[in-house]
Every structure is written in C-alpha cells, then in structure tokens.
Structure 1
Amino acid sequence: MFNNAQTCGACFEIKCAPEAGPNCKPGQPSLIVTATNLCPPNFAQSADDGGWCNPPREHFDIDQPAFLQIAEYKAGIVPVQYRRVPCNKKGGIKFTITGNPYFTLVLVWNVGGAGDVTDVQVKGDNEVKWTPMTRNWGQKWQTNVKLVGESLTFRVRASDGRSSTSWHVAPKDWQFGQTYQGKNFK
C-alpha cells in the first residue's frame, strides 16, 4: 500500500468496515491518519494469523486511542474501509537536516495537500543550478553535494504534481539535527 515507502506522508480516512459488525463504534465514525512508515512483514506466519503486514495485504497499524475512535477494544483487529484524502497540516513543510558535511539527509514532513513527496531539489546560495536529491527511504532525501555554510532553499514536488519552493529556509549557519519550516501546500 505504501508503494515501497513512497506513499509515506499521504493521508487516509479509515473507518470500521460493516463486516466487523458489533465491533464497530455506533454511527461508523472515521479518523484521518498520515502514513508514516512501513509495517514489517512476518513471512513465518500466514496473512490471516499474525502476518498482517505480509504483501500484498494492506494494513493500518494504529495506536489504541485512535483504534478506540472507530472500534471496540475487544475487537483487536478489524476489517476497515479506507480512502486517500488530502492532508490538512498546520504550519509549513518541515525539513529536518541530518548527515555530515559530505552527506546531507533531509526528512521532508508535515506536507499538506497530497502529503507524499515525489521529488526534492536543493539550492545553496552559492549554487547557480538546483541539485536533485535522491530518495533514501520514505520521505528522507539525500545528496552528496557539500552544503555546509550556505543558506538552503528547497523545492518540493508532491504526488499531485504541485510544487512548493521554500526560499532560504535554512540560514547559512544551519546545523545538522535541526528542523526548519518552509512554505506549505494549501
């Protein structure tokens, strides 16, 4: 479902499926979740008995407080209906920069609209051209271009084709391990 982690960041509306019967909360309430990681498969077990994350099975693993919004605690595992929905995020796109002076890894998160990112480019203030970043995993993007000491501008393209450019979002004295906030999709 997460397209080898490429759909991380997308938002889904989930509700308890009618076949769950009395395990569903009355009125069929729904909740909105953001896909944040990949559920690890367990090929030693069948998909119907503990191998909930085994391909091609689709699976949402949600915490108990969220689960209790749509189903009764006694249910444990319930069939759900889901659909992709736009992500409504507060604040701007966030860029968490890690790595070292020779390898920059940027987690791009809090993305509104489509939520999932398909392309990231970075431009230091000393650069004339944009540098494409490559996907490391999920919404972590990397480059081997040395960027220390330059203010950084990021251009983010979401899966719906829209782009957002956050100019000089990280100042010249940015540090590894810090998060910077840019311009978000509406």
Structure 2
Amino acid sequence: MYKVHEQSKYPNYLALVVTHVAGQNDITRVELSRGDCKEWVPMRRAYGAVWDTANLPEGSITLRFEATSSVGNSYWVQSTNALPDNWEAGAAYDSKIQLTD
C-alpha cells in the first residue's frame, strides 16, 4: 500500500508514504514512469517511508519499488495498479505487490 501524503499538491508535487512493509524487507528506492513510457525517474527519500518528487509526468503514473532484505538481497517489484492521473492528497492506493525474501 501507499498513500499520497497530505502535503502533495496536484499536479506540481507528489509525496508518497509507503505503508504495510512488514517482515525482513525495506523499500530502498522508488521510481515512477508515465503509464505508456518506459523511462523510470527516481523519487527522493524525503524521510522515513516518505518519497517525493516535483518532476511529475502527465497522465497516470506507474510505480516500481526496490526492496532490500535483511540479508542484503535486492530486487525490483512493479505495481500493477497505476496511480491515477487525478490523484488526491490523502488518498491511499493498493500497489498489488507482495514482498518476499
């Protein structure tokens, strides 16, 4: 799950709070891409589980996350549920991702 942070301002600034990361994994990078584009743009880790960017593509946004396990193994997972182009601050979205070791 991820939630659009309350400080987000559509369409100029997006901050996401990555939630429900349990177990032995940590989200170490987040990248976004416009739905039909394959160019990934990194988000900045603002603090804790909050990732942000001021460089937003137009349209729906696809997200991918790098997960790192407690033993140092890293892998990328991509959300199959895009952030809609009319996202709102405070809204929560299901990434449809299950992290594994």
Q: TM-score, normalised by structure 1?
A: 0.44
Per the alignment, residue 146 of structure 1 pairs with 56
Distance change in 2, residues 1:127/1:145 (3 Å): farther
Contact 1:119 1:133 in 2 (8 A): yes
Please, which runs of 5 or more residues in structure 2 have no aligned partner?
A: none
Distance change in 2, residues 1:122/1:129 (3 Å): same
Distance change in 2, residues 1:172/1:102 (3 Å): closer
Per the alignment, residue 44 of structure 2 pairs with 134
Please give the root-mean-square deviation of Cα atoms over the aligned residues, in Å: 1.9
Per the alignment, residue 121 of structure 1 pairs with 31
Moved over 3 A (4+): none
Q: Larger C-alpha radius of gyration, 1 or 2? A: 1
The correspondence of residues 1-186 of structure 1 with structure 2, limited to 5 A, is 94-98=1-5, 99-100=8-9, 101-125=11-35, 127-147=37-57, 150-160=59-69, 161-182=74-95, 183-186=97-100
Higher percent of residues as strand: 2
Per the alignment, residue 83 of structure 1 pairs with none
C-alpha distance after superposition, 1:1-45 (max 9, x if no partner): xxxxxxxxxxxxxxxxxxxxxxxxxxxxxxxxxxxxxxxxxxxxx
Q: TM-score, normalised by structure 2?
A: 0.76
Residue type at the aligned position of 2:28: T
Please, which runs of 5 or more residues in structure 1 have no aligned partner?
A: 1-93
Q: What fraction of aligned residue pairs are identical, expressed as a percent?
A: 25
Q: How many residues align?
A: 92
Higher percent of residues as helix: 1
Alpha-carbon separation, structure 2, partners of 1:180 and 1:168? 8
Superposed displacement of residue 153, structure 1: 1.4
